[in-house]
Structure 1
């Protein structure tokens, strides 16, 4: 375990400083079964019948962790005394620090200085719950029970952390850490500490941002090596900084996209709601990574089957139909009375009949209905959803099952879950039980599902999200693991401000890096026609210096003769003008690229604190309208092609309805060259190519901007 926090995760001795809040924490430790030494610190009274001393200086040596429940001013002095006494970690409950403004920020700096080498959790936090030890440095209610192993839940929000402990969704929790203001210990250090503990089975993150990206990346790499599922909710999506709002990328892709790219790169599954976090983490902990994304859904209702089909749309899940021979076996198990489709409505005429349900579900999963560990064909699977590949027909199965309310007879529902569990076990197929309404999956059903080796999700959407996460996790684990230290290129700050290089200055830099740009000239308007004759037609005439030339009427394209070039150059120079740096009213005359298959946007931009973010997407004048982008962290490696395939524009690039395909290899190479340019020039804060014109044979940067940090 990491040195600073091991005494927090598994403390053997605790101290409690303060009054009411300290007593609540003491009572929580007793109720939780903490068996180590506990001491109170209060100059006026005894705390909850503990051995109580008047000052921190009177505590015995070697206290592992202390709960500090005094006001913000007294917290600073107390932390200084705890540090001098050699206490391992201080949990600071008080508010009134950086979250309240300038004066609070000063107090927070003083708090960290007072702590010295001692770790500080908080301030403005609920603290820690340790189910393996029973330690509860936590002055509020919680719903955890003692257990030796489980997931770790790390939350910047104390109230969300408390709410997570109250969940009844079958998630085994070992640690909850409320981080508060993260004045010292941040979510990255806490993540690092829990992933190396052998009792940790997974990690859930509720976060607003990161304070140490490199540490976070290293911790995620450890989680991958240990095959621990990690699921994150990130709140507080931030707008782009004003320094780089000049580009299309800034208006399309906020800084939140950098976190999305970081999570994807590190194999962390992002969700957007707390219930989804709990269900997804519980499912991943129960079934592990999937070998693929093919799933089958079972329900006794056509409406539920249709709902599953609808809700699986747009997810990276495959819901394949049964191969003919497979469908025949399923139909036989259902006496030929049911249309065999996936999702499958097996109807209610076998409801409550364990034997017939078992035969039905076993036929669906290619399993023997009675003998554990075998298939319907003996030994290995020969049945697939597509027919004959020698693999299991599905990578996962979902059963939709809503139980009656408390007090009603549930006896006829249990055979369905039991038959499903048997078929999943015998067919070596991970299984998930979900209800159409979360309240219809009672605690009893969740517990029984876990006992039978199934995962349980509150509703269909969460179940599908969890299966999608399990499939993505399996793909991530199959990928070749790069060195952790090379996973993220650090973001770049511009403390002295930035300067924007317009197209006529940015494109020569691109050309010097090996990126193809159109032949062009920067000329005075009266020289435009001669320049066009030299370049060759058709040409474009562009304004110089405008960031969004099309919006300003600063572009004329497809010009095929000298007269039209001269007229366009005069109009553009008069209406748009030229920047002072150029010194004259100038225009760009540039060769038009023909046979264009698609227009792309390609950019690299600094997104502190996460890293340098590559964005690819639909480009041109409709960039914001189409809003079709994918983002990756640098180095992108071999992920660029996958990002292109994720675009809605991909069918056009691939050759839509017999039309020519674009030179995708040239696009990927352009991205590599752009990445090298940014890597080699640490002044570049952002570079955007829009559009990158893709033809059947090449990719050409038709327009570009750069944002540089000032010297």
Structure 2
């Protein structure tokens, strides 16, 4: 790991170039950077009102951080010179490297840097709002802070837009990765989180270059009490691997990345607004809030809206305990129905002590509370009548030591000065009801398992499909139950004497037998059976009886996350149902069973309306056996069983597709 301290927290800054360099100087001066800034330009006496030096060799000292705003070919020479003089690091601003087909030039840049850290190339830069150091060639919307969150992005425009937020999020650092030729995502994130003044980190991620390193980063952040929240872009693109199986399509796109983030203990969100709101929660309350939420509002309409909007996010509101309900009833009177969400009406509006009693009594029995409140806009209205309710929220939070979130129905209904005032009191206002609910759900992300790391990913490679006979022999050797059967190169060569009908007759050599017409079920005799065109051989198996459900189980190498496990409702309609969950290996039996409970059709496996319960423990055991098999045999590229027939006791792999590297 490189030491990024001097680059991120410089005492001295050098800038190279003209227009872009002038912008860097201006931004540093506006932010109050108190160290020396040394412009370097071979033809100008001054840049940005400061004395310019003709070359790096003429500088009065060795710069801690350098903004390199020259063309790409000159950038390589500058980086080499900086490294030779012992500089702390550089921002490589120019574009035209690997992203433009110039991989060789980018390799030259990395070689020139040696051990000196560089960000980029094709990188906008870094803003340090803690110390006023900006290696940033543009406007931004931030201000000096004593502590706050870090923002890290692989897109310069996305992160520039984030600096313009007016939601009272205190931002300590802004950093771009660019092409990440030398310093990668996990390394830069780790360096930002190492600053004790940083409370959490939010990332816009286009690609994860080191999944085990990223998982280690997330664990270290949690251990330090700092939350990690991420937007992962590109989730709609399917995997580039050949889609010979249902698993390849069902686990493509964002399924694997979302599974990885969940298991690594990273909060995942979909929008920039959600990213900001989760970061506010983490900044104030740490990396996780509890699952038991209450909601309070002075309107039945608001209470109903909260309940309706919460449901799609998987948020429910536990009932009010009888003792708490009794206490609330004494304060609010008999007309108010005590429930969660609670409509406390307006009988106590403006009465600070009674409002505080209600808020404190309700909040004390939950992990966190939502307080729906939309203060009037101060430019046209008098918001003073809302102050007792806001004060009561603050008092309830302090009395219970529980997170209390003022939530506005619309994001613009909290003006920034009011939001900043609340944040300074340790109260996190959340802006926009639906965004707030999504943020709260994300902030409840699992803590992650200590020491969990995905297996090392392997590059894409050519593969060959095993015959079903070979595939099932492999499964059986791992302790997976398969139907009894016989195989032969020709239909006439099949000997069913030792099998009990009815049979399943299959033609070999097809990835999808049903579509090829290569499956016949309920066969009682081979007499009169016609050949299957295109079959390379035949497999005759006893049909499995007593099945409660058909499920899909698939494992496949992932080019980023190592090895993914997909489970879901199976059979020929697997892709139509698209009811699957994905995990990243390694996993435990408890994690597999927990994932199954996230299926929409889980009730069908769990005895819905008197149906027999499927043996999901046997399914989990099968998944663990096959995961161990693929971990031990790096040549295996994919195993899919569709369907696995689940009985009340036991599970049988009825159809198997296995691909091996060649």
Secondary structure in 2 matching 1:284: helix
8 Å CA contact retained: 1:502, 1:547:
no
**How far apart are the structure 2 equivalents of 1:590 and 1:498?**
27
Whether 2:508 is the aligned partner of 1:536: answer no
Q: What is the deviation of 1:129?
A: 0.6
Per-residue deviation, 1:428: 2.9
Could you tell me how far 1:145 is from its partner in structure 2?
A: 1.8
Question: Does residue 488 of structure 2 align to residue 523 of structure 1?
Answer: yes
The answer to whether residue 566 in structure 2 is matched with residue 615 in structure 1 is yes
Aligned counterpart for 2:515 among listed residues 542, 547, 551:
551
Alignment of 1:118-133 (within 5 A): 118-133=116-131
> Is the contact between residue 151 and residue 202 of structure 2 (CA under 8 Å) also seen in structure 1?
yes
Runs (5+) with no aligned partner, structure 1: 367-392, 580-585
Match of 1:295 among 290, 293, 310: 293
Equivalent-residue separation in structure 2 for 1:707 and 1:546 (angstroms): 12
Question: What is the 5 A alignment of 1:521-670?
Answer: 521-523=486-488, 526-527=491-492, 530-531=495-496, 533-559=497-523, 561-562=524-525, 565-567=526-528, 569-570=529-530, 573-574=531-532, 576-579=533-536, 586-637=537-588, 638-670=590-622
Aligned residues of 1:179 and 1:186 also touching (Cα < 8 A) = yes
Q: Residues 143 and 250 of structure 1: is their aligned pair in 2 closer, same or farther, counting only changes over 3 Å?
A: same
CA contact (8 A) 1:333 1:363 kept: no
Counterparts of 2:351 and 2:340, CA distance in 1: 22
Query: Contact 2:125/2:176 (CA < 8 Å) preserved in 1?
Result: yes
Q: Distance in 2 between matches of 1:502 and 1:460?
A: 54
1:337 & 1:594 partners in 2: Cα distance? 59
Residue aligned with 2:595, SS:
helix
How far 1:442 moved relative to its partner?
A: 1.1
CA distance in 2 between partners of 1:234 and 1:406 (Å): 37
From the superposition, tell whether residues 94 and 188 of structure 1 become closer, same or farther in structure 2 (CA, over 3 Å).
Answer: same
Partner of 1:440: 413
- Structure 1 counterpart SS, 2:429: strand
| Distance apart, 1:529 and its partner CA | 7.3
Distance 1:272 1:186 in 2: 23
Post-superposition shift, 1:526?
4.5
Judge conservation of contact 2:454–2:586 (CA < 8 Å) in 1: yes
With 109-118 and 549-558 compared, the bigger mean Cα shift is at: 109-118
CA contact (8 A) 1:494 1:709 kept: no
Q: Deviations over 1:216-240 (max 9, x none)?
A: 2221221121121000001122634
What is the TM-score of this pair, normalised by structure 1? 0.89
1:503-546 Cα shifts (integer Å, max 9, x gaps): 22211111111111111111356447741x42102221112111
Query: Which residue is 1:672 aligned to?
Result: 624
- Of the structure 1 ranges 612-621 and 460-469, higher mean CA displacement relative to structure 2 is found in 460-469
Matched, 1:483 2:451: yes
Alignment-derived partner of residue 65 in structure 1:
65
Q: Out of 408, 424, 447, which is 2:397 matched to?
A: 424
Q: Which residue of 2 aligns with 1:707?
A: 659
- Tell me which moved more, 463-472 or 659-668: 463-472
Q: For 1:315-338, what per-residue CA distance to the aligned partner results, in whole angstroms no more than 9, with x for missing partners?
A: 343301223443232233222222
Deviation per CA, 1:7-57: give whole Å up to 9, x if none. Answer: 112111110001010111011111111112221100111112323211122
In the alignment, which residue of structure 2 is the partner of 1:509? 474
Partner of 1:182: 180
The equivalent of 1:169 in structure 2 is: 167
Moved more, 326-335 or 701-710: 326-335
Indicate which of 681, 684, 687 corresponds to 2:633.
Answer: 681
Which stretches in structure 2 are left out of the alignment for 5+ residues?
Answer: none
Contact 2:491 2:538 in 1 (8 A): no
Output aligned runs, 1:168-317, within 5 Å. Answer: 168-237=166-235, 239-289=237-287, 292-317=290-315
Distance of aligned partners of 1:460 and 1:675 in 2 relative to their CA distance in 1, 3 Å threshold: same
* 1:97-135 residue CA offsets vs partner (Å, 9 max, x unmatched): 222x32x33432332233222222112221001122211
Shift of 1:172: 1.5
The separation in 2 between residues aligned to 1:62 and 1:86, in whole angstroms, is 7
Using the TM superposition, give the Cα deviation of residue 205 of structure 1 relative to its aligned residue in structure 2, in angstroms. 0.8
Per-residue deviation, 1:603: 1.2
Distance in 2 separating the partners of 1:224 and 1:216: 13
**Cα 1:647–1:601, aligned 2, differ >3 Å: closer, same or farther?**
same
Query: 1:451: Cα distance to partner?
Result: 3.5
State how far apart, in whole Å, the 2-side matches of 1:420 and 1:262 are.
Answer: 36
Q: Out of 239-248 and 501-510, give the one that drifted further.
A: 239-248
CA distance in 2 between counterparts of 1:17 and 1:398 reads: 50
Q: Are the counterparts in 1 of residues 548 and 613 from structure 2 also a CA contact under 8 Å?
A: yes
Using the size of structure 2 for normalisation, the TM-score is 0.95
**Alignment size in residue pairs:** 659
Question: Displacement of 1:291 after TM fit?
Answer: 6.2
C-alpha separation between the residues in 2 aligned to 1:242 and 1:32?
46
Query: Post-superposition shift, 1:439?
Result: 0.5
